């Protein structure tokens, strides 16, 4: 063989392989129900650390799940990130997630905050406590979620509608402990104590309480922190009129929920998808969540933000959050029977 031709072919082959490698640069595609501002800085850190580019698509949680189901095996998504264990359960039931095994995730995320079979993993934590108007409610009169149905609170409670997944998960957690019959009786009492028909989001319940429409609101700590530390002066003023009460501290603890993620069933970049979720559960990512997003880290040993720390420590319900999804349909039907609009 002509040596010149041989070396020429070798050089050309090397160049072709190099260009193919460049064209197939490592990447991972993420469908996220978290807004870009609440996830993009972490994704940039991941890319800087691993060299893996993250292609981000954001949208409403339910819309993204519908999109995943309709795209089927043609979906470009490798990772689905959404809020609430109930939504993650829906994704699992829709068969758009696949189970994965990760020693890193199993060791860093407590068992109660991840799916027992590895379909999804919690990445940040928020509580759903009772919030009361300072000066109008004596916190010594508060105790449990169950006590919100007491006749003494008639016309004093603001809470959002029954079609909200956060309330559905709260009711599901109560079913798991108190059973359906007792929880339905409670729900009817709660409806009777509402100051107004449910409307708006969690921030609206806080603002309504601050405006004197009710004395007590039920809302996620995430929203409360955003109102206190955000740039909206009116929202901050409203939140400052309220304080947090941690219910059920002598029992199962305050209801908590997560934002979390799983690898899609038809992921084209499965290894990179696992790496991304592992990074989001790392100490550095958890610390960022704690300081910027006003959410509690799921990983032990990571300090909460200054705002969250000011609210004090609390006992959290250690119910495995997969049960929130398992009991979701029962919770929805129960709320409907109770007249919770």
CATH number of the domain bearing residue 131: 3.40.190.10
Residues 96 and 172 in one domain: no
Q: For a pLDDT cut of 90, what percent of the chain falls above it?
A: 84
Other Cβ atoms closer than 10 A to 3? 7
Rounded-to-integer distance, Cα 186 and Cα 194, Å: 13
Which of the four pLDDT bands, split at 50, 70 and 90, describes residue 140? Answer: very high
In a domain, 5, yes or no: no
The pLDDT value given to residue 56: 97
pLDDT at 8 over 50: no
In a domain, 282, yes or no: yes
Extract the tokens encoding 273: 């998808």
Residues 331 and 291 in one domain: no
Structure tokens, 26: 């490592």
pLDDT at 15: 43
Considering the domain architecture, whether residues 264 and 118 belong to the same structural domain is answered as: yes
* Residue 65 near residue 94, CB atoms below 8 Å: yes
Mean pLDDT, the chain, as a whole number? 92
Task: Tell me, yes or no, whether 281 and 326 share the same domain.
Answer: no
- State percent of the chain over pLDDT 70: 93
Residue 8 lies in a domain: no
What pLDDT, in 10s, does the model give residues 61-72? 999 999 999 999
Answer yes or no: is pLDDT of 11 > 80: no
Are 65 and 133 in the same domain? no
Strands 121-127 and 256-264: antiparallel
User: Is 50 inside any structural domain?
Assistant: yes
pLDDT at 19 over 80: no
The boundaries of the domain holding residue 244 are 127-254+322-337
What is the model's pLDDT at position 4? 46
Count of the separate structural domains present in the chain: 2
Q: Are 188 and 338 in contact (CB under 8 A)?
A: yes
DSSP state of 54: E
pLDDT tens profile 240-256: 999 999 999 999 999 99
Asked if 216 and 327 sit in the same domain, the reply is yes
Do the domain assignments include residue 3?
no
Q: What is the pLDDT of residue 288?
A: 87
Asked if residue 246 lies in contact with residue 224, where contact means CB atoms within 8 angstroms, the answer is no
Q: What is the pLDDT of residue 24?
A: 60
Same domain, 250 and 132: yes
pLDDT at 294: 87
Mind listing the pLDDT tens digit for each residue in 266-310?
999 999 999 999 999 999 999 888 888 889 999 988 988 888 999
Query: Is residue 231 domain-shared with residue 270, that is, in the same domain?
Result: no
CA–CA separation, 189 and 166 (whole Å): 19
How many CB atoms sit inside 10 A of residue 306's CB?
A: 10
164 and 138 inside one domain: yes
- Asked whether residue 11 is domain-assigned, the answer is no
Q: Are residues 218 and 125 in contact, defined by beta-carbon separation less than 8 angstroms?
A: no
Is the pLDDT confidence value at 183 over 90? Answer: yes
Whether residues 226 and 173 share a domain: the answer is yes
pLDDT digits (tens, 9 = 90+) for 35-52: 898 899 999 999 999 999
The pLDDT of residue 262:
98
Indicate if 172 and 298 belong to the same structural domain: no
Non-local (6+) Cβ contacts of 313 within 8 A are none
Is 132 within the bounds of a domain? yes
Which tens digits make up the pLDDT trace of 197-244?
Answer: 999 999 999 999 999 999 999 999 999 999 998 889 999 999 999 999
Q: Is residue 72 part of a domain?
A: yes
Q: What is the DSSP string of 267-281?
A: -SSHHHHHHHHHHHT
Same domain as 89, residue 60: yes
Predicted confidence at residue 2, as pLDDT, reads 52
């Amino acid at each position: 063989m002509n040596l010149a031709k041989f070396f020429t072919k070798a050089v050309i082959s090397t160049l072709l392989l190099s260009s193919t490698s460049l064209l197939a640069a490592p990447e991972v595609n993420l469908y996220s129900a978290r807004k870009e501002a609440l996830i993009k800085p972490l994704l940039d850190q991941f890319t800087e650390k691993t060299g893996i580019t993250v292609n981000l698509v954001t949208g409403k949680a339910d819309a993204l799940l519908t999109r995943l189901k309709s795209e089927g095996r043609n979906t470009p998504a490798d990772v689905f990130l959404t809020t609430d264990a109930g939504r993650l359960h829906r994704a699992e039931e829709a068969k758009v997630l696949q189970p994965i095994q990760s020693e890193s995730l199993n060791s860093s995320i407590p068992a109660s905050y991840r799916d027992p079979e590895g379909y999804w993993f919690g990445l940040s934590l928020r509580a759903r406590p009772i919030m009361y108007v300072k000066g109008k409610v004596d916190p010594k009169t508060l105790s449990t979620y169950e006590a919100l149905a007491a006749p003494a609170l008639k016309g004093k409670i603001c809470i959002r509608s029954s079609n909200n997944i956060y309330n559905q998960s709260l009711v599901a957690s109560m079913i798991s402990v108190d059973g359906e019959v007792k929880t339905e009786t409670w729900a009817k009492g709660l409806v009777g104590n509402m100051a107004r028909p449910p409307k708006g989001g969690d921030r609206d319940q806080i603002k309504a309480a601050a405006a004197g429409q009710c004395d007590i609101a039920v809302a996620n700590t995430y929203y409360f922190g955003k109102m206190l530390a955000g740039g909206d002066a009116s929202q901050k003023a409203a939140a400052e009129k309220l304080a947090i009460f941690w219910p059920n501290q002598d029992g199962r603890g305050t209801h908590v929920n997560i934002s979390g993620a799983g690898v899609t069933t038809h992921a084209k970049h499965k290894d990179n998808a696992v790496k991304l979720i592992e990074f989001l559960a790392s100490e550095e990512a958890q610390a960022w969540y704690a300081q910027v997003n006003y959410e509690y880290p799921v990983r032990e040993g990571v300090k909460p933000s200054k705002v969250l720390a000011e609210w004090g420590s609390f006992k959290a319900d250690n119910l495995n959050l997969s049960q929130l999804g398992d009991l979701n349909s029962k919770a929805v039907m129960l709320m409907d029977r109770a007249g919770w609009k």
